[in-house]
Structure 1
């Protein structure tokens, strides 16, 4: 489990693989100077909260720390799905990872 630290105050844990995909999307938007909302859900038993939302902007520090020593392999379809989420009115959410079922028969 890695952590995302927001504004040096809020620390939330994510699986390293999820965190790597979030980092890719978040950095791309912040690099372009695009502020946006990010909402995630957690077990109420672990954090005391069920859902958290933050406003991410280039002026607020965000840090990513990973438990594992190797960078997880990125799934481009998952990055794209999270990008669509980040660009929506509701903002970025952790969407389910798309499965790669391979090429369509006859394609």
Structure 2
């Protein structure tokens, strides 16, 4: 399990594969000077949201040095979520990894698919 370090927030624990994909999407947006809304559920089940701008310090810390090939379909879905008004939801991305939904915060928790 890696961590996404966000200025003013601290570390958010994220599986390495998701972290690699999310970091790729965030850097692509920030390079274009586009902010991104990022949401996740913390260890207490509380939803957390941050507005990440090009001046925000963001760092990815991976648990392992091994990298697998990035999944272009998943990257596209994550980018669509990052471009949406609701932003990119780490929780939705984990719950619907193999599905077809866009992992945005607009997907209500009650309608999110159950964890496999």
Q: TM-score w.r.t. structure 1 length? A: 0.81
Give me the whole-angstrom Cα distance separating, in 2, the residues matched to 1:40 and 1:9: 12
Q: Once the two structures are superposed, what CA deviation does each residue of 1:34-73 show, in whole Å capped at 9, x if it has no partner?
A: 012111124xxxx334211101011010000000111232
Q: Which contiguous aligned blocks of 4+ residues in structure 1 show a shift greater than 4 angstroms?
A: none
| Structure 1: gaps (5+ residues) | 100-107
| Structure 2: gaps (5+ residues) | 100-116
Compute the RMSD of aligned alpha carbons.
1.5
Q: Which has the higher contact order (CA 8 A, sep 6+)?
A: 1
| Other-structure match for 1:83 | 79
Structure 2 counterparts to residues 15-54 of structure 1, below 5 A: 15-42=15-42, 47-54=43-50
